[in-house]
Each structure stands twice: as C-alpha cells, then as structure tokens.
Amino acid sequence: MQPLRAGVVGASGYSGLELTRILLRHERVSLAFATSDRWEGQAIAAKTGLDSDLSYVSVEQGVAAAKDCQVVFLATPAESSLELGPRLAALGVTVVDLAGTFRLKDAALYPPFYRFEHSAPDLLAKAVYGLPELFREQVKGARFVANPGCYPTAAALSVAPLLKAGLVEPQSLVINAASGVSGAGRKATEDFGFMEVDSDFRAYRTLKHQHLPEIRQTLTRVAGADVPLVFTPHLLPVKRGILSTATAKVKKGVTTTQVQQALADAYGGEPFIGLKGEPDAVRLADVVLTPKCLVGAATDGSHVVAIAAIDNLLKGAASQAVQNMNLALGLPEPLGLL
C-alpha cells in the first residue's frame, strides 16, 4: 500500500513535536513536511531523535507542499489556524486542527474567549469535533476535524457517560482541573520559569478560560440539556499531564455501582480509556507519555466525584489528533498509537 502523505504546520511547539514523532513512527504514514519558524532548516531527526531525512521548512513551503498530502495537521496558535484552515481546506486535503479555532459552534463565543472575530463561519459550521469516544461516527471520513482541547478531553470523558445515563443533575456540575506546565506551550515567559512554578500551585483564568464554553458545548450535546458548569483550571509544578476532578449531585438512590457501570458501559471496548474504578486510583503519573485517559468515579449517595487523567500533549493533543486522522482516513483507530 502507498503510504499516506502527512504534513505538520507548527512542528516545534510541544504538541507539534509529539505529533511529528507519532507520525514518523506510524506504519501507514510518510511525513511529507513539518514547518517551524524556530527550527527552519534544521534536521527533523535532530529534534525528534527519530530517523528522517527532512528538515523543517517555513509555513509557506509547508502550505505549498500540502497539495500533495492526504492530511495536514495544524499545531498552530488559534489565529494562525484561522488563516491557514480555510486555505488548506480549499486544497482538498483533510485537515486536523489542534487549535481552538474550529471547536465552538457558536461563533459569537470567539470574541470573548479567543479575542478574535471568527472570519470563517462556513468552515466552522462544517468542522467535526473530534472526540472519538463520544462522537466517533461523525469523525469517520471527516474532511476537517477540530481536535479537542486538553481540559475538555479530560473533563468530558469523565462525566459524559454519567450525564447520558441520567445519573447526575446537569445543573450541579463543577469541574476543577490541574495541568502541567507544557499546557502553556513553549514560551520564554517568567511566569513559567522554574523559579515561579516549582513548589507553587495556583488557579488561573478563573471563570473565563477558553475551554469553559468548549466543555459546556460537549456536555450539553451529550446530555441533551444545558450543562452550565463552572470550571477552574490550576497550574501544577509538573511538566505534563492533566487531572480533572468533576463533582455533581446524583439523582436519588444512585449508587457507586451504577456510576461505575455507566462508565464501563460507555467505555468497555475503548482502546484509549482505562477504567480504574475508584477516583483515587486515577493518577497523573500513570498517563504521562501514554495516549490513554484513565477514569474513575464514586458517589456517597449525595454527590458523585468523577476523575480523569490524560497526558495533555498526547490524548489532550497529538495522539488524539492521530486517532482522528485514522478515523478520517479510514484506518484502524489505534494504528500507530498503541
């Protein structure tokens, strides 16, 4: 079989680098190009530690090469995806966008949460939200996939089955989450310096994080009713990983057995979900460097606590993007990931 030709725009960010590595190892993919302003002209092998004859190219060289590709990934800032998404879509290539640019169906949410007017509403309408464990059928054969955010992946996977099964009160959902520093991207700012982050812990963008409307959109879609949650992200003194702790009131008489059964029913055959039973058994250390999401939940008859953990750069970005590519191009979903 001919390998599928894939390109990566924005290959020197943390997610872009992980993505490049996955694609270089993927048995059905041939990496056609990877762009990087920072590393332009340098060998891809040197940065990834993997075999490759290619060097990083400029974005424009990447876009020029895209027309000979079957799939292009955008691991770019949201504003860049807004410009590049339509250009690449126009070439007929399948696009998987890792930014938030095409995730929110309501374009009016972009100015308050992303600080730009959305200039591509048609493509936004067509884009498929690529959270395979919840919306697999839509991703199959999709031409433009909006890859979910890291927090929304963890948060939604932990509680979606409980909402779907009608076990919890949708109005009572509260999500707290904590992320490693790589979630902030590769930036030389003092805020993410070792001196600021080590031995510290704090919340950030309380009540206004851009992932809040994304989580709400996903859970509302799953629950069939508005889920007006509150979401508080925190910064952990670790490099990688997200742990999401969701709480909600349970409906009368709901037991831990029912809660854990709902997760088992939803995720029984899922290759990228690990069911841990008790929420205390879900640990960041067990998901880092893996493409998996671990989930666990329990109730005391009053509230449920549902916890999920992912590697923010893998299931929260790069490996999920490859799950989506596999589904979009008709390959087996776990190919190149397990």
Name every residue whose Cβ is closer than 8 Å to that of residue 282 and which is 6 or more positions away in sequence.
243, 276, 294, 295, 296, 307, 308, 309
Name every residue whose Cβ is closer than 8 Å to that of residue 336 and which is 6 or more positions away in sequence.
22, 23, 25, 26, 27, 28, 29, 322, 326
Amino acid at 151: Y
For residue 177, what are its two tokens? 């989450």
Task: Compare residues 101 and 182 and give the one whose CB is closer to a second copy.
Answer: 182
**Minimum distance from CB of 245 to a second copy (Å)?**
5
Catalytic status, residue 69: no
CA–CA gap between residue 293 and residue 311 (Å, rounded): 8
**Minimum distance from CB of 36 to a second copy (Å)?**
15
Task: Compare residues 14 and 144 and give the one whose CB is closer to a second copy.
Answer: 14
Please work out, in degrees rounded to the nearest 5, the angle formed at the alpha carbon of residue 69 by the alpha carbons of 65 and 70: 160
Task: Compare residues 87 and 202 and give the one whose CB is closer to a second copy.
Answer: 202
For residue 138, what are its two tokens? 């839509």
Q: Angle, nearest 10°, between helix axes 211-223 and 150-164?
A: 20
**Minimum distance from CB of 166 to a second copy (Å)?**
20
**Minimum distance from CB of 309 to a second copy (Å)?**
8
Task: Compare residues 221 and 303 and give the one whose CB is closer to a second copy.
Answer: 303
CA–CA gap between residue 131 and residue 15 (Å, rounded): 17
Task: Compare residues 160 and 178 and give the one whose CB is closer to a second copy.
Answer: 178
**Minimum distance from CB of 279 to a second copy (Å)?**
5
Task: Compare residues 235 and 331 and give the one whose CB is closer to a second copy.
Answer: 235
CA atoms within 13 A on the CB side of 97: 30
**Minimum distance from CB of 138 to a second copy (Å)?**
30
The binding site for a second copy (CB under 8 A) comprises 14, 49, 172, 174, 176, 178, 181-182, 186-190, 192-208, 228, 230, 232, 234, 236-241, 243, 245, 247, 278-280, 282-285, 288-290, 298-300, 302-303, 305, 307
Name every residue whose Cβ is closer than 8 Å to that of residue 158 and which is 6 or more positions away in sequence.
244, 246, 295, 297, 306, 307, 308
Task: Compare residues 242 and 328 and give the one whose CB is closer to a second copy.
Answer: 242
Name every residue whose Cβ is closer than 8 Å to that of residue 85 and which is 6 or more positions away in sequence.
74, 95, 97, 101, 102, 120, 123, 144
Marked catalytic residue, from 6, 78, 150, 227: 150
**Minimum distance from CB of 178 to a second copy (Å)?**
6
**DSSP letter assigned to residue 3:** P
CA distances from 8 to 32, 95, 191, 214, 249 (A): 8, 10, 28, 24, 43
CA distances from 137 to 106, 142, 264, 271 (A): 22, 9, 20, 16
Question: Which residues are marked as active site?
Answer: 150
